[in-house]
Amino acid sequence: MLKNKMNLKRINFFFILLLFFSFPYKASAKSVPESFADLAEKLMPSVVNISTTQTVITRNNPFTFQFPPGSPFEEMFKDFGTPQKRKSTSLGSGFIIDSKGIIITNNHVIKGAEDIVVRVSNNKEYKAKVVGSDPFSDLAVLKIISKEKFVPVKFGNSDKARIGDWVMAIGNPFGLGGTVTTGIISARNREIGLSRYEDYIQTDASINQGNSGGPLFDMNGNVVGINTAILGQSGSIGIGFAIPSNSAKIVIDQLIKFGETKRGWLGVKIQDVTKKIAEEKKLDEPRGALVVSVSEGSPSSKAGIKEGDIILEFNGVLIKEMKTLPKIVAQTQVGKTVNVKIWRNKKIISKKIKLGRLETSES
């Protein structure tokens, strides 16, 4: 009998222990949505399909034969043909952020376009014009040429978007407008070598050609990313990339206000600090950005930054990796005086630098 009571107490103890460890998990875990239909229905009117037209000039071959690929004669005689003009069209996506018809998309969607037509969810088409574009971040702002009112969406805080969070993409893949796909955030801070300032959100929501410029929504219906690239050219393989809304919004606000971007500029060329370099410089660990050269007359030159310095901190932000510095500098207001900490001669030195503007500089 005593043995049975002890066993019963032991069972109760493990049951309580099980409940103790179960509750925190259930409290923090998010359930899988039963349906995305309500959210999709709410957001669809704010997503547009974009089609562009541009004139492409080609030359037909005046000869009755073809030169072998790579032949020097191919380059020599390429201008002998009769110029032929043809219209080229491309498709993309975008989303409305203002009731007056302000649209966000990718720069590569509208680059070189002579005519831009947007179609909203009710299949009504409108002409649009470019307000401003930025090839460095691959972003563009358009304005619908109409006095009608449109349904806008809001930007969310992409810094709070976590790996594993549910997301929804809406766009115009392969010209099939109004397509909704869902997935999760697969990774953060991805760099794939497409643009100068990269900090992509990776997602497994299906993204294909034509999705470019379309929104990536969180489950509150806020835009946390702008779908920009896919891995490979064969279509969705569960790896798509989106520009985070927080970094995109800085560029977008400037394009709307000025029609162009105004990025901060230091005027230095930098490289990674390797373990070997850190040892040579007597730095505790590989960190920061090594200054390879300083542009003459640049803000850094005027502040006394020298080749061989290691930038450890910029405007209060620690530079753990070289790639961090250009992003932070670009997002800092032109003309602002910032404190920069560098490593020189085995000690930390502080410098005050008044930032220039990248686009008006030569390097």
pLDDT digits (tens, 9 = 90+) for 5-58: 555 455 454 444 444 444 444 445 567 788 999 999 999 999 999 999 987 666
CATH topology of domain 158-258: Thrombin, subunit H (2.40.10)
Where does the chain show beta strands of DSSP type E?
47-59, 83-98, 102-105, 115-119, 125-134, 139-144, 166-171, 179-190, 200-203, 215-217, 223-230, 240-244, 264-265, 268-272, 289-294, 310-314, 317-318, 337-344, 347-354, 356-357
Where does 40-164 show beta strands of DSSP type E?
47-59, 83-98, 102-105, 115-119, 125-134, 139-144
Catalytic residue among 51, 90, 93, 108: 108
Q: Where are the domains of the chain?
A: 158-258, 264-360
pLDDT digits (tens, 9 = 90+) for 190-230: 988 777 788 899 999 999 999 999 999 999 999 999 999 98
Per-residue pLDDT at 198: 84
Compute the distance between CA of residue 132 and CA of residue 138 in angstroms, rounded to an integer.
11
SS3 43: helix
pLDDT digits (tens, 9 = 90+) for 55-89: 766 666 555 556 565 565 555 556 555 566 667 78
- Asked if 361 is an active-site residue, the reply is no
Tokens 């404190």 locate to: 339
Catalytic residue among 206, 212, 236, 298: 212
SS3 306: coil
Give the number of other CB atoms < 10 A from CB of residue 88. Answer: 13
Confidence of residue 131 (pLDDT cuts 50, 70, 90): very high
Tokens 């050219």 locate to: 233
Share of the chain above pLDDT 70, in %: 80
Per-residue pLDDT at 89: 81
- Asked if 108 is an active-site residue, the reply is yes
- Asked if 204 is an active-site residue, the reply is no
Homologous superfamily (CATH) for 264-360: PDZ domain (2.30.42.10)
pTM across the whole model: 0.79
Q: Which of 38, 36, 152, 168 is nearest to 95 (CA)?
A: 152
Tell me what the mean pLDDT of segment 286-310 comes to: 96
Catalytic residue among 90, 93, 138, 298: 138
Long-range contacts of 347-351 (CB under 8 A, 24+ apart): 348/312, 351/303, 351/304, 351/305
